[in-house]
Amino acid sequence: MLKKLKQKISRHKRIRAKVKGTAAYPRLCVFRSNQHIYAQLIDDDKGKILAQANDLQSKAKTKLEKANDVGKVIAEKAVGLKMAKVIFDRGGFKYHGRVKAVAQAARTAGLKF
């Protein structure tokens, strides 16, 4: 278990060395726990969170459907803030399953990566 955590942390460091959000192109950061999924739009220049979404109020049955809802909500908030392009930060998680579902739902709702 500790080996998996170390691998995730090293992946996250590698990603964050290359990915930086600005006011024009914020970073779409995804965090996935065993139960829930969260997404944030972050301006790294100012260190501010511009918008956030989570699945705590979602009425969906499965985790994958909840991830789709989070992707749609964060995309709607970004479009509401007049941001069409974002930089995707998968947070050290593999681009698979719920993380991929958030990204695809955000793309279909109007965001460009």
Q: Enter the pTM of the model.
A: 0.89
Q: For the CA atoms of the chain, what is the radius of gyration? A: 14
Give the whole-number percent of the chain exceeding pLDDT 70. Answer: 100
Say what the alpha-carbon torsion angle 107, 71, 31, 112 is, to the nearest 10 degrees: 20
Residue type, 104: Q
Say what the alpha-carbon torsion angle 37, 18, 51, 80 is, to the nearest 10 degrees: -120
CATH number of 2-108: 3.30.420.100
Domain residue extents for the chain: 2-108
pLDDT tens across 39-85, in order?
999 999 999 999 999 999 999 999 999 999 999 999 999 999 999 99
